[in-house]
Amino acid sequence: MGTEGADFRVIAGRYRLEARIGRGGMGVVWRASDQLLGRLVAVKELLPDDSLPDDDTRRRRDRTFREARAVAQLRHPHIIVVHDIVEQDERPYLVMELVEGGSLADRIARDGPVDAVEAARIGVALLSAVRTAHEAGVLHRDIKPANVLIESGTGRVVLTDFGIAQVAGATTLTETGSFVGSPEYTAPERMSGVRTGSESDLWSLGALLCTALSGESPFRRDSIGGILHAVVAAEIRPPAEAEPLLPVVRGLLDRDPDRRLGAAEAEQMLRTYLETGRTPEAPGTSGATGGGRGHRIGPGRAGRTAGAATPYSPTQPDLAHGAPHPPAVSAPPADLPPRTATRGVLIAAVLVAALAGAGVSAALLLHGKGDGGGGSPGGTATSPATSTGTGTSPASRSPSPTTSTRPTATRAHTAPSGYRTARDPAGFSLAVPDDFTRSPQGERVFYLSPGETFRLGIKVTEPQPGGPRGVLERSAAKGQDTNPGYHDGRVTPATHAGHPAALWEFGWDGFSAAEGPRHTYDLCWEDSGRLYDVWVSAPVAKVREAREYFDVALDTFSVTAS
């Protein structure tokens, strides 16, 4: 933590404020000296809200003292120690232990993301801390990297800033109907105003682990509306760097709080990773998990249609064309004239407008009629929010493989900057990066980046038994045979352009040591009597760029005359 300012006030005749070391939405933190005991402490000065009437101010102060006293009873090596709670000039002050060291947010900003071992160590400490708090009936409600301190020299992890904590069953520190917390780390049930419980802190821990591993929250967007939509409705995409801890991350980021991974379970899974180097599946599950979808996929489902059709892997060549991966033979495709594409996120637009003009809470906007159309406000990870209003265009929803709603043949196809729209002789068109070259291989068509770092593939065939999901589940069941080092594969149901679809995502070791670990996204769907499969394979370190190529390809995909 940096130091700035000076004050030298003496609070309660005992605590001398020396330098400001932090500031948040609810107060200022000072480095101070306890003149009675001769030790350094941290003093948090809770700022007044001048907009509140006097009666509300008194009630707020009373609640602050009541809940701070509850937090002060917590005793745990990874929870900040509260030494004293005092009042001066009708303003509360919390006196806490002084942890010499910056926050996890400071560390990430300075040194970049941490590795999986360090993330697991931090996760174990925080899960143990929140278990103690929850058992005492205290909810933190604002777990994020800025509220986690890393002590210099010892590396001790300390959960701090219980400033908006809530004692279970008590009124919250802020007024009813207002929103507290950091949206990128706030659970969807809290965001939508449905409920708040210990499970909400666990969601925040899942988002924090993603941030520690990748450098940013998976729910970070350019606007508050975009963040709220990402938390409540959009597909949840844990970063590729989270793969070693994926069962824990997915379990904590389950949108259904009743099915969310528990603190004790998550802590034990992370301890197992630290001891063995592998993270077990959540208790009561096996096989891939459907993070954020409120269900998990067991092993029996992956093979229920096995044998009905020949499985294949998008990363492997057709057997009749036995190259280890497609050759970079270029045949530049023709370009299509650009057409206007309408993009946007309806929920984000509604939220931003409402937040700017109406002054209502985020929780209210996402509950009841806050979805802008009277349908389902949240949807699921693979289904968009529904709308029964006549003013809601499906095209205004977020472009993703799981929320596209217009028929393929009538969608707009403007290629973004840096892309061209390719009309392929195989009977489809899509946008690909300008420097990708076409390489046909049997039933597949590849568009390859220079050096084949990125491989975008498309396959068009007749429908197969079990539909898109059956196709991908059979391929996933053979993943170990077709993809060296195959791991963390999962197939989840989806929709694309209004048609049933399935999404397969997995990691693998690449075809050679030189190529290195890779990650693959694959979406399969049926349309007008044909089965379409689009996938992107890329090095793990470039998975975000690959996801962009994948999303753009799907958003602009169209069937054309062969």
DSSP state, 162?
-
Q: Which residue has the higher pLDDT, 59 or 211?
A: 211
Residue 67 pLDDT: 63
Helix %, strand %, coil % for the chain, to 5? 30, 25, 45
Q: What is the mean pLDDT of residues 535-559?
A: 90
CATH domain 104-296 topology: Transferase(Phosphotransferase); domain 1 (1.10.510)
Q: Name the architecture of domain 10-97.
A: 2-Layer Sandwich (3.30)
Catalytic residue among 34, 50, 115, 142: 142
Residue 248 pLDDT: 97
Residue 393 pLDDT: 30
Q: Worst-scoring range by mean pLDDT, 16-20, 192-196, 319-323, 553-557? A: 319-323
Residues 219-259: pLDDT tens digits?
999 888 888 888 988 889 899 999 999 999 999 999 999 99
Q: What is the mean pLDDT of residues 107-135?
A: 95
pLDDT category at 398 given cuts 50, 70, 90 is very low
pLDDT category at 270 given cuts 50, 70, 90 is very high
Assess whether pLDDT exceeds 50 at residue 189. Answer: yes
Q: What is the mean pLDDT of residues 144-170?
A: 78
Angstrom distance (rounded) from CA 453 to CA 473: 26
Assess whether pLDDT exceeds 90 at residue 202. Answer: yes
142 belongs to the catalytic site: yes
The structural domains of the chain, with segments of one domain joined by +, span 10-97, 104-296, 299-338+409-559
Residues 317-345: pLDDT tens digits?
433 333 334 333 333 333 333 333 323 33
Task: Please choose, from the candidates 149, 44, 23, the residue with its C-alpha nearest in 3D space to the C-alpha of residue 92.
Answer: 44
Angstrom distance (rounded) from CA 32 to CA 21: 10
Q: What is the mean pLDDT of residues 417-444?
A: 90
Strand partners, 335: 422
Residue 543 pLDDT: 84
Angstrom distance (rounded) from CA 154 to CA 131: 23
CATH domain 299-338+409-559 topology: Protein Transport Mog1p; Chain A (3.40.1000)
Angstrom distance (rounded) from CA 329 to CA 436: 11
Angstrom distance (rounded) from CA 474 to CA 303: 6
Assess whether pLDDT exceeds 60 at residue 370. Answer: no
Assess whether pLDDT exceeds 50 at residue 436. Answer: yes
| pLDDT above 90 as % of the chain | 39
Task: Please choose, from the candidates 316, 325, 544, 333, the residue with its C-alpha nearest in 3D space to the C-alpha of residue 452.
Answer: 325
Residue 111 φ/ψ region, left for φ over 0, alpha for ψ in the -120 to 50 degree band, beta for the rest: alpha
| pLDDT above 70 as % of the chain | 70
Angstrom distance (rounded) from CA 78 to CA 314: 46
pLDDT category at 158 given cuts 50, 70, 90 is very high
Residue 277 pLDDT: 93
Q: Which residue has the higher pLDDT, 462 or 408?
A: 462
